[in-house]
Amino acid sequence: MKKKDFDYIAKVEKAIEARYGSEAVQNPKANWDEEKEKEYLDQIKLLLEKENKRKEKNQKVEKDGFLISKKLLNKSSREKCPVCGIYSFKTRDDFYFNRYSCCHECYLIFVEDDSYIFEQESPRKERWRLGWRPSKDEVERRRFKKDVGRGA
C-alpha cells in the first residue's frame, strides 16, 4: 500500500473514532498480514458507507421554497406521477418513474411511439427527454378521457 493510502485511512479512522468511539476501529498492528489488512480495509469501508448513508438520510433539499428531507423527496417523487398526479405503488411504475419521470399509463399515452419502436430514440421520446410535458388540459383529455371543452 502507498503512503498516501495510509494517510487517508488514518484520517478516516480519526473521523470514525470521533463518531463511533475508539472500539469501532481495531487496528491489527500486531500480526499484520495481507488477510488482516483486507479485513481492516473492509471494516473501514463498511463504516464509511454507514456514515455516508447517515449523511444522505439527513440531507435536506429545497423544494418550492421549503427545506425537506431528501429521503422524503425521493420517496414521494417515486410514488406520485408528476404528469397525471396519481400516486402509484406499483413496481412496474417504478421503472417508468426512474426512466421517464412519469407512470406507465402516462408513458403509453405521451411518450411511447409505436412507429419508432425499433429506433433508439423516437421524436416523441426525444421531445420528452428534452423536457416537453403535456398541458393540464391534454392530460385531462387524454389521460382521464375528460372533455375539457376544447377541440382535439
Quick check: 139 binds Zn ion (CB under 5 A)?
A: no
Quick check: 81 binds Zn ion (CB under 5 A)?
A: yes
Quick check: 106 binds Zn ion (CB under 5 A)?
A: yes
Quick check: 16 binds Zn ion (CB under 5 A)?
A: no
Nearer to Zn ion, 50 or 142 (CB): 142
Give yes or no for a contact between 95 and 103, defined as CB atoms under 8 angstroms apart: no
How many amino acids of this chain bind Zn ion (CB under 5 A)? 6
- Stretch near Zn ion under the rule CB under 5 A, chosen from 41-49, 51-59, 75-83, 127-135: 75-83
Out of 84, 93, 96, 111, the residue judged to bind Zn ion by CB under 5 A:
84
Residue 107 CB: number of other CB atoms within 10 A? 21
Smallest distance, Å, CB 80 to Zn ion? 9
Length of the chain: 152
- Phi/psi at 27 (5° precision): -90, 110
Write out the DSSP string of 102-135.
S-HHHIIIII--GGGTTSSS-HHHHHHHTT----
Helix, coil or strand: residue 66: strand
Rounded CA separation 51/8 (Å):
16
Nearer to Zn ion, 53 or 99 (CB): 99
Smallest distance, Å, CB 84 to Zn ion? 3
Helix (H) or strand (E) holding 5: helix 3-20
Smallest distance, Å, CB 131 to Zn ion? 16
Quick check: 111 binds Zn ion (CB under 5 A)?
A: no
What residue ranges bind Zn ion (CB under 5 A)?
81, 83-84, 102-103, 106
